[in-house]
Amino acid sequence: MKKINNKMRLLLLTALFAVLAMPQLSNAQSNLMYGSSRNPLMNSANPAFFPSRAKVYISLPNANFNFTSPLSYNSIFQYDSTQQKTIINANSIIDTLTDGSALRFGTGIYPAGLGIDFGKFFLTLSAQAKVDMGMSMPTGLLTFLTEGNYGHTGDDVIELLNGDLIGARVYAEGALGFGIRLLDDDLTIGARAKLLMGYMDLSNAASSLTIRTAEDYSSMTANLNLDMNMTSCLDIIRDTVNGTTSVKVRTIMPKNYGINFDLGVRYTIGRFDLSASILDFGPGIHWTDGVKKVVSANENNSFTFTGLDVSQAMQGGTMDSTFTRMLIDSLKTLAEYKVIDGGEGYWTSIPTKVNLGGMFNVTNWFSAGVLFHGEFDRGVVKVGDAFKTKTTGFYSRTTLMARAGFKDWIEVVAAASIVSSKSDWSFFNPGVGVTLTPFRTLQFYAFLDYISNIYLVDAKQFNISFGLNLFFGKGNSK
């Protein structure tokens, strides 16, 4: 009972990898987009940035994908030349995962956008579909994988799952932005209001899984408490007679509303261009339509394991199926859950982002500088506490960047970033982007940023953005 055996450890690691394979989202922007001077969607990173290349711009469908993981492919899998097959590298997984490590995946689809420059002020309109997910690795799970239950007895309970384990949501965003030029156009301030509509959400409210070991190691008791919030615009219908499952759209306009705000400022002094912005500041989304809770089916949800009585478990040299069935049934009972009405609902926050930038315009066509992007996760927010901050994680990207404009139709941006994800740091993450405007009215762009390794099997993070823009009328080049 003092140590978990190798088979149990492999089983836990396999389950852990299955969890790590789940997508999680952060919606982190590329610093290359923030540092671009010709792409009007730089306004999405700072509402004080004038989309001033033309009097009017229309953003055609574009997309952004962001992925961050504490593990790379090579951290998980290893080729065993002796066995001539690929195996799960248990030791590498345990060594790589650190306290508070998180897997995150983000995507945003930008179907339409509009910007109008009126000279001293401008307006922007946009609509987006977003996914926002995140999952942290509990300290107790790592402890159990590395140490087993040795030394953790009596009141020293091992918490395998706790805290803000998972948050995953799908939502739509409509935004109206405004900016104004001041001080002879050297100072620009901007703001944007965002109306949010939530479609799906799965978030941990107070789920926990603990293991308590008797002082004499004679028994081990597991206690599982499921408490998950769940909201969806879909209904999953299970036909127990035919054994089939179908999905039906319950509503296309769910009544899960929210509001957030963006603020930005930009100041030009000589050759220096200084800027700052805060994005997605506000309460987030209030989930009230179709809210459910996933909870443990049994009130006293525990299972005590005292080992195997070989005299009862073995019959005629083989494992007695009656005994093993009882053990399996006990574990199934522990994992049983039920779905109940979610009551008055709950809030979930959208990660708040902070941007700080400083660029030096060396010439009219070449600039270099430093950009910082920070992101706060606040998890589930209780009703009535929508504006209270409860930070569950902080992520940052600090970027050294250079941009060059060739003629009037091409801009190239190159960067190198230091990326932190809670306690995990990565010190060299290059990026490159290009914006092409071969015709006066049409623009193409693509950015690949935060590349942790040029070999995909060793990559732990990356960000991809691409899309099209249309321009009409000559804008203010300031």
Pairing of strands 442-449, 77-80: unpaired
pLDDT above 50 (res 386): no
Burial 216-232, CB ≥16 within 10 A → b, else e: eeeebebbbbbebbbbb
The pLDDT assigned to 307 comes to 62
CB 434 within 8 A of CB 403: no
pLDDT above 60 (res 90): yes
| Residue bearing the bigger pLDDT, 212 or 87 | 212
| 208-213 β-sheet, strand order | 158-161, 208-213, 220-225, 302-305
- Provide the pLDDT confidence category of residue 229 given band limits of 50, 70 and 90: confident
Q: Which homologous superfamily does the CATH classification assign to the domain defined by 6-297+336-474?
A: monomeric porin ompg (2.40.160.40)
Tell whether the torsion through CA atoms of 143, 146, 148 and 149 is positive or negative. negative
pLDDT digit string (tens) for 391-443? 556 778 899 999 999 888 899 999 998 887 666 677 888 899 999 998 888 99
| Residue bearing the bigger pLDDT, 92 or 39 | 39
pLDDT digit string (tens) for 260-313? 999 999 999 999 999 999 999 888 899 999 888 888 877 777 777 776 555 555
Q: How far is CA 132 from CA 27, 103, 396, in A?
A: 6, 12, 17
- Provide the pLDDT confidence category of residue 454 given band limits of 50, 70 and 90: low
pLDDT above 60 (res 234): yes
With CA atoms as reference, report the closest residue to 5 among 141, 149, 210.
149
The pLDDT assigned to 143 comes to 65
Cα(140)–Cα(55) distance, rounded to whole angstroms?
Answer: 57
Q: Residue 187 forms beta bridges with which residues? A: 182, 267
pLDDT above 80 (res 202): yes
Residues with Cβ within 8 Å of 54's Cβ and at least 6 positions away in sequence, in order, are: 40, 117, 471, 472, 473, 474, 475
The pLDDT assigned to 323 comes to 56
Mean pLDDT of 335-354: 82
Mean pLDDT of 349-374: 92
Q: What is the mean pLDDT of the chain?
A: 78
CB 126 within 8 A of CB 175: yes
**Ranges of H-type helices in 395-463:** none
The pLDDT assigned to 187 comes to 95
Mean pLDDT of 340-344: 80
Domain assignments of the chain as residue spans, ordered by start: 6-297+336-474
The pLDDT assigned to 7 comes to 45
Q: How far is CA 376 from CA 25, 319, 415, 463, in A?
A: 13, 52, 23, 18
pLDDT above 80 (res 218): no
With CA atoms as reference, report the closest residue to 345 among 436, 257, 452.
257
The pLDDT assigned to 328 comes to 67
Q: Name the range with the highest mean pLDDT among 26-40, 42-56, 447-461.
A: 42-56
pLDDT above 50 (res 179): yes
Contacts 24+ apart (CB under 8 A), 14-22: 14/88, 16/93, 16/141, 16/145, 17/76, 17/88, 17/93, 19/135, 20/69, 20/71, 20/76, 20/103, 22/103, 22/133, 22/135, 22/166, 22/168
pLDDT above 50 (res 13): no
Q: Residue 112 forms beta bridges with which residues? A: 127
pLDDT above 70 (res 20): no
Q: How far is CA 408 from CA 119, 206, 404, 411, in A?
A: 21, 55, 11, 8
Amino acid at 367: S
Mean pLDDT of 322-334: 64
pLDDT above 70 (res 25): no
pLDDT above 80 (res 122): yes
Cα(391)–Cα(376) distance, rounded to whole angstroms?
Answer: 6
Beta strand extents in 18-120 (DSSP E only)? 54-59, 62-68, 77-80, 85-88, 102-117
Residue 73 has phi, psi (to 5 degrees) of -60, -45
Cα(52)–Cα(181) distance, rounded to whole angstroms?
Answer: 12
Side-chain-side CA neighbours of 376 within 13 Å: the count stands at: 17
The pLDDT assigned to 195 comes to 96
Pairing of strands 102-117, 166-182: unpaired
The pLDDT assigned to 17 comes to 40
Q: Return the number of other C-beta atoms located less than 10 Å from residue 197's C-beta.
A: 17
Mean pLDDT of 51-61: 85
- Provide the pLDDT confidence category of residue 367 given band limits of 50, 70 and 90: very high
The pLDDT assigned to 413 comes to 94
CB 264 within 8 A of CB 48: yes
Amino acid at 136: S
Percent over 90 (pLDDT), the chain: 27
The pLDDT assigned to 424 comes to 67
